[in-house]
Chain A
Amino acid sequence: MGKKKRGHPDVEELLSRAWCYYCERDFEDLKLLISHQKAKHFKCDRCGRRLNTAGGLSVHMNQVHKESLTSVENALPNRQGLDVEIFGMEGIPEDIVQQHNQRIIQNFYQAQAERYAATGNPPPGQGGKGPAKKLKIETPEEIKKRLAEHRARVAAQKTTMNGGSATHTPLEGRPDGQSPAQNASPGAFNSPFPPPGGQYPTFPAQSVPGYSPPPQYPGAYPPPSIPSRPGSNLPAPHGLPPRPGQPGWQGSASTIDELVSGAAQEGDEIDQLIRMAEARIKPPKKPETPTGAEPPAEGGEKKSKKEKDKNVKMIYDDELSPEERMAQMPRYAFVVEAGA
């Protein structure tokens, strides 16, 4: 395995990283993980003492503060239990390990695909794995086809100079003479054409507060070093060889997630367009209505996530406030007295 050849960790490397059972963050080495756990999950919130395990903290709380610990701090909702004894990587239930590995692999191939799509570099030798194949062979054809149609349409609209461009096959007849590397790249995502309507502009960073938990980890803590996800963050410069080494890459707090979302930024625009076309959803006309930070936050959120068709269920959705509804109930109603 070429080690750190391109500054992108390969999948074995990612899988071998130490990670935290409680919050799914991964770390450079076990030492860091253990100090993370002591600081984040096994720290006594009364006196600040760092214990080695949840059990240790529980005993400490009991003996020193006469309090009982019911859950592990800062943990994902389903990982707060004290029943599993975790120290570093030890004690993690096998099924959780499996789940974690699966997620890493999935994210990795997604990131990889997006990266290749964005840079146009051919995949290196490690491409023999199933998921990567799937991503590369199945969707690109569709995407290409649609992209071609889209290009033709835009081109036809835009200029009469290339009147015949609509009939050209997209690969040979590209009017703008794009780099051939893009042809080879599976999504050819970085089209020079802005999507019609430009519905995904660069979002102001401040509208995406860092603490919106990504939907796939309810209640997860985002890596603290990322205050916000920039809207258009190129994962690698076009046409340039990736910076050698990239010392900060591995050691930084950036997780697979960030990697994925960073890489996904690019592709999502057209990808999403295609999906919307498929679903016959009209693209939103004016995404940046001047209603303040709200819509950009929404868009930025969506863009950085992989799920496009997320269902949302609101517990309360009404024009009247809950109190007004309650006030209408006989049990709470107030009957106005005469002359009141």
Chain B
Amino acid sequence: MAPPATQFELAQPPNDAISALAFSPDSPSRLLASSWDKNIYLYDKLQNSGGEEGSHGTLLRTFEHRAPVLDVCFGKDGNEAFSAGMDWQVRRIDLDSGEQTTLSKHAAPVRRVVYSKEHSLLISASWDSTLHIHDPSNPSLSPLPVPLPGKPHAIAASPSKLVVAMTSRLVHIYDLSALSNALASPSPSAQPPQPWQQRESSLKFLTRAVAAMPSDAGYATSSIEGRVAVEWFDASAESQARKYAFKCHRTAHPQPDGSGSGATTTTTTDVVYPVNALAFHPVHGSTFASGGGDATVALWDAEAKRRMKVYQKFADSVAALAFSSDGRYLAVGVCPGFETGMEDYSGEGRTKIFVRELGENEALPKGKGK
């Protein structure tokens, strides 16, 4: 089953499960992947750069860490990256020189890092139930800790807000400029910054991923129970009435007799997969992609509440997704999914990164000749 040429697989994928993917803000050809094999991988020349057919992507270099890397993101440009480590550290990596500096230390593994271009802030979220707010341009400022009521599992930044999804279905939304101010004018007596909004997740199960709309209108969350919710920042009743949730990344297995016709007599086992990754399209802000344990990636139109596309099944669970800054490429990290009760896990040999070149109107809501 050779994938079509619009979707290619990167040579030299990570050796173990992928935790995150990130495209450079400057160039659609630079991609970072963080892996459980303790490395961060920097790829370039994703496009078929005049070479032979099949020579997609070059592994420029790897950046070794002391422990598995749980997240990675780019900073202000394509040469600056930040990593979240199982070794409790948040690191800044100079991708040119390979120099790594520790920005802060948490008291538990760091789950996520996110960089806000608008506010030049780096936010790290750790299982020690804190956020650390950093100003990477001013390393003399010590990171500002923000206590959380639960362990964070996913964070996302929109132009003005930071969404933090935690255990117990807690969701806090912070105002980034408030965080920025609190960091810039440290006063020991001051209260830690309070969330701008506190919400309960619309999903009944553990939150898996969060993605914020580039339009700053809202965000999407996904849970381990094959479901995605779309919500709006605006707290007015009208806006809140617009929020919705839907099932996805499930497969139905009809029982033996099943003609699949769903008659009253047939029982169907619905296999429900976690939705591991969400990503909004940077250009068509209403479009977002979801990647699930069912090894598929789907494109959705958040405004129209429509599914736009489902891509071919991959060989293994989709662990991470990233759109390039121009929205032309979608990177998909594939590795075996971790399932309940697994005693052992290894992504070795089955971890792959695919980059899909989107057709002109592939992610464009509507207008697609129906």
A52 nearest CB across to chain B (Å): 16
CB 8 Å contact bits of B155-171 with A (1 = contact, 0 = none): 00000000000010000
Q: Are A214 and B262 in contact (CB under 8 A)?
A: yes
User: Of B1, B245, B260, which one neighbours A294 at CB under 8 angstroms?
Assistant: B245
Question: Chain B binding site: helix, strand, loop or mixed by DSSP?
Answer: loop
Q: Are A316 and B337 in contact (CB under 8 A)?
A: yes
CB contacts (< 8 Å) of A219 on chain B: these are: 251, 310
Q: Are A307 and B262 in contact (CB under 8 A)?
A: yes
B369 at interface, CB cutoff 8 A: yes
Return the chain B residue nearest A106 by Cβ.
B263
Q: Are A323 and B19 in contact (CB under 8 A)?
A: yes
B195 at interface, CB cutoff 8 A: no
A285 at interface, CB cutoff 8 A: no
Chain B interface extent, by class:
35 or more
Chain B residues 304 to 359 lying within 8 A of chain A, measured CB to CB, are 305-307, 310, 312-313, 337-340, 342, 344-346, 359
CB contacts (< 8 Å) of A317 on chain B: these are: 205, 224-225, 340
Q: Are B270 and A313 in contact (CB under 8 A)?
A: yes
A340 and B88 contact, Cβ closer than 8 Å, known pairs A212-B247, A327-B109: yes
Chain A residues 226 to 250 lying within 8 A of chain B, measured CB to CB, are 227-228
In the complex, what distance in Å separates the CA atom of A65 from the CA atom of B7?
Answer: 13
A286 at interface, CB cutoff 8 A: no
User: Of A45, A69, A204, A323, which one neighbours B359 at CB under 8 angstroms?
Assistant: A45
Which one of A70, A99, A306, A317 has the greatest number of beta carbons of chain B within 10 Å? A317
CB contacts (< 8 Å) of B246 on chain A: these are: 208-209, 211-212, 297
Chain A residues 307 to 340 lying within 8 A of chain B, measured CB to CB, are 307, 309-319, 321-327, 329, 331-332, 334, 336, 340
Not counting A315-B339, A317-B224, a sample of 8 additional A-B residue pairs whose C-beta atoms are within 8 angstroms of each other reads: A48-B361, A206-B242, A206-B305, A293-B245, A310-B269, A315-B272, A315-B274, A317-B205
The 4 closest A-B pairs by CB, nearest first: A216-B262, A334-B67, A292-B202, A322-B338
Q: What would be 16 A-B contacts, judged by CB atoms less than 8 Å apart?
A: A68-B4, A70-B3, A103-B261, A216-B252, A218-B252, A294-B227, A294-B245, A307-B267, A311-B269, A315-B272, A315-B274, A315-B339, A325-B342, A326-B36, A326-B345, A340-B87
